[in-house]
Amino acid sequence: MCGIVGYIGNKEAYPILIKGLHRLEYRGYDSAGVALINRRGELSVYKSKGKVSALEHSVDGKDTTGSIGIAHTRWATHGEPNEVNAHPHYSMSKQLALVHNGIIENYKALRAEMEKNGVVFCSDTDTEVLVQLIEYVQHRHECGLFEAVQLALKSVVGAYAIAVLDKAHPEQLICARKGSPLIIGLGTSDQGAHEFYLGSDATPIIEYTDKVIYLQDEEVACMDGSGALEIVNLANVRQTPQTVTLQMSLDELEKGGYPHFMLKEIYEQPSAMRTCIRGRLDIVDKDVLLSGIIDNKEKFLNARRIIICACGTSWHSALIGKYFIEEAAQIPVEVEYASEFRYRNPVIYSDDVVIAVSQSGETADTLAAIQLAKNRGAFLYGICNVIGSSIARATDSGTYLHVGPEIGVASTKAFTGQVITLFLLGLAIAKEKHTLSDEMFHMLVDELQRIPDKMQWTLDHNPNIDQFAQMFTYCKNFIYLGRGYNYPVALEGALKLKEISYIHAEGYPAAEMKHGPIALIDEEMPVVVIAPKRGMYDKVVSNIQEIKSRHGKIIAVVTEGDNTVSQMADYTFVIPDTRDCYVPLLAILPLQLLSYYVACAKGRNVDQPRNLAKSVTVE
Ligand code: F6R
């Protein structure tokens, strides 16, 4: 969603803030802004519609000096994306400037109350209400910024991560969070002085320090230019923060010679999957070692059900996980859209295990879904990529993907990492429950170990997708079909295409075609069919025949050496043979590339598609 950066120390803040905004731009990108206090104590706010580069351009020639500042890249929720609604927002007197991520639910009531008392607003945003409220409280209680922020936040309903500057206190940067992440980086300048960095995630901080503090809900922090840090809760009780060392490297945040993060992340999948399974698959002893399962064995052995809550791509990987866990570990699994689950009074038993699958670990709907499950006594397990994220911290136990930061907005390596992690989980439970024969268990372990190499093979043996993709740039619709484990791949392939190319695409279970969607087939309609020589191959061949006879264009994902489907299809992508359940890990790769190249051919901004954000921290 939106991104926050902040700095206080003895360096020039502006270059740090701008670089940080560029790193956070993947989270949201319809406007950007920066606030600085210069050495004469003047507070300036610069903002502009569009990307961070537009902000840089508009700031050209203006005074950007000062060693304290805050900055923001926005993904609009309240108020259209324009300069007025962009952050930072001034208070009425222009003494304060504030940036905010999240949503203030009672902003209308707060605004009405302040307007009655003479406060004048100039934007439509809930964020302006926050900064005005802080100033209002400062005046009413005649207190400093740190105290005013604590008092103001007590009357706020909603989610926030904020950073505030006060012209009267150029030595203080104040921040607070509830439901929206905020990280404080603890740095030391070349002269040995303490300095503080602020980020909505670690990406703008890692270049300067790997020592960070994850601010907790309802905590307010005061970072002082002298190097002092004080953290209190909303009741003004001092908190003892825990300093954590980040495991991320700067290289992981760069494009590494690729034109887009998405392409880099597609090609990174073999090595990312090796990291994901490292230490968890024991090939010598043919074993799966997942500490989250080992430590909570009884919870999984006694689970009445597993409920997986997720959104978007993570929901698709959850569906593959369901098929596998039910098959291997014989536990009923339900997969829920977190956004629906949280609002429909679902039946949750105390002996249910509820798994949240989320790349960012910050998705508001998924977080709310597990909070609901927690209140009903279920055991919570998190499958997240971002270390220390809200979902990772809100769950009782879990497994990290360890696939490295995913910057491209369209999820690629996180999807395959989630699928592999769910396979590891299913295998680990199956081992404890003895639901698979030793022979089958060993075979599945062996084959999972080979998957990264087979992914590499797949990436190496499907050349020219870029040229082939050109033919489809004028298409208005696509259909994706798959059966069994490949039905979720059809859903994911369709989502990838629509989110980055803006071509309408739908995924269906192949056999559902005849119940309606077949009416859409004509010579204009490309149909992508996942047709490996496994599982329901013959049935998929029949589905292809039905489409052919209606002149649909077939793009098929086939197993190496397959002749039948290859002869029927207009174009084929090849994958090596593997177990039925592991096909999704290979079949999705050419589909990711197809989406990527169609989007590039249409001139789309692949890494930052319109209207989307990397981490959806609003409902
Ligand atoms: C699609 C995509 C989204 C996310 C969804 C959930 O490429 O990235 O559909 O999968 O917003 O996000 P996480 O996994 O962070 O909870």
Question: What does the DSSP assignment read for 321-366?
Answer: HHHHHHHHH---EEEEEHHHHTTS-----TTEEEEEEESSS--HHH
For residue 77, the model assigns a pLDDT of 67
**Which ligand 1 atom minimizes the distance to the CA of 366?**
16
* 359 close to 376: Cβ distance less than 8 angstroms: no
CA 596 to chain centre: 18
For residue 28, the model assigns a pLDDT of 66
* 144 close to 130: Cβ distance less than 8 angstroms: no
**Which ligand 1 atom minimizes the distance to the CA of 386?**
15
Question: Residue 2 catalytic?
Answer: yes
* Cα(586) to centroid(ligand 1), Å: 20
313: number of Cβ within 10 Å = 22
Question: Residue 614 catalytic?
Answer: yes
Identify the residue whose C-alpha is closest to ligand 1 atom 13.
Answer: 358
Please, which contacts does 507-513 make with residues 24 or more away whose CB atoms are closer than 8 Å? Answer: 507/479, 507/480, 507/481, 507/482, 508/479, 508/480, 508/481, 509/481, 509/482, 509/483, 510/481, 510/482, 510/483, 510/539, 510/540, 510/543, 511/483, 511/539, 511/543, 513/481, 513/543, 513/546, 513/547
* Cα(145) to centroid(ligand 1), Å: 37
* Cα(186) to centroid(ligand 1), Å: 30
* Cα(310) to centroid(ligand 1), Å: 8
**Residues 135, 340: Cα–Cα separation, whole Å:** 38
For residue 618, the model assigns a pLDDT of 66
* 45 close to 90: Cβ distance less than 8 angstroms: yes
Query: Which residues approach ligand 1 with their CB closer than 6 A?
Result: 311-314, 358-360, 363, 366, 410-411, 495, 499, 615-616
Which of 2, 222, 276, 581 is flagged as catalytic?
2
**Residues 397, 383: Cα–Cα separation, whole Å:** 9
For residue 255, the model assigns a pLDDT of 80
Q: Which of 261, 71, 228, 65 is nearest to 163 (CA)?
A: 71
For residue 370, the model assigns a pLDDT of 94
For residue 79, the model assigns a pLDDT of 65
Identify the residue whose C-alpha is closest to ligand 1 atom 5.
Answer: 312
Q: Which of 27, 363, 383, 412 to mutate to test the pocket of ligand 1 (most atoms within 8 A of CB)?
A: 363
Please list the alpha-helical segments (H only) found in 231-356. 261-267, 269-277, 291-294, 297-301, 312-329, 338-341
Q: Which of 262, 337, 359 to mutate to test the pocket of ligand 1 (most atoms within 8 A of CB)?
A: 359
Domains of the chain: 3-253 (3.60.20.10), 261-454 (3.40.50.10490), 465-601 (3.40.50.10490)
**CB neighbour class for 439 (10 Å; exposed up to 12, middle 13-18, buried from 19):** exposed
Helix 583-601 crosses helix 487-501 at what angle (to 10 degrees)? 20
Edge-first strand listing for the sheet containing 68-74: 43-49, 31-37, 68-74, 3-8, 194-199, 183-188, 211-214, 243-245
Cis (ω within 30 of 0) for the bond into 270?
no
Identify the residue whose C-alpha is closest to ligand 1 atom 10.
Answer: 313
* Cα(339) to centroid(ligand 1), Å: 12
Identify the residue whose C-alpha is closest to ligand 1 atom 8.
Answer: 411
**Which ligand 1 atom minimizes the distance to the CA of 415?**
10
Give residues with Cβ within 8 angstroms of 291, minimum separation 6. none
* 217 close to 178: Cβ distance less than 8 angstroms: yes
Q: Which of 319, 336, 357, 360 to mutate to test the pocket of ligand 1 (most atoms within 8 A of CB)?
A: 360
**Residues 136, 132: Cα–Cα separation, whole Å:** 6
Identify the residue whose C-alpha is closest to ligand 1 atom 9.
Answer: 312
610: number of Cβ within 10 Å = 11
Tell me the residue type at 243. T
* Cα(525) to centroid(ligand 1), Å: 27
pTM greater than 0.85 (yes/no): no
**Which ligand 1 atom minimizes the distance to the CA of 313?**
10
For residue 387, the model assigns a pLDDT of 86
**Which ligand 1 atom minimizes the distance to the CA of 311?**
6
**Residues 364, 105: Cα–Cα separation, whole Å:** 14
Question: What does the DSSP assignment read for 192-215?
Answer: S-EEEEEESSSTTTTTT-SEEEEP
* Cα(411) to centroid(ligand 1), Å: 6
* Cα(312) to centroid(ligand 1), Å: 5
Q: Is 500 helix (H, G, I), strand (E, B) or coil?
A: helix
**Which ligand 1 atom minimizes the distance to the CA of 310?**
16
* 77 close to 100: Cβ distance less than 8 angstroms: no
* 146 close to 168: Cβ distance less than 8 angstroms: no
The pair phi, psi for residue 260, each rounded to 5°, is: -140, 155
**Which ligand 1 atom minimizes the distance to the CA of 496?**
7
The residues of the chain scoring below 50 in pLDDT are none
Which of 47, 299, 553, 614 is flagged as catalytic?
614
* Cα(55) to centroid(ligand 1), Å: 28
Identify the residue whose C-alpha is closest to ligand 1 atom 3.
Answer: 312
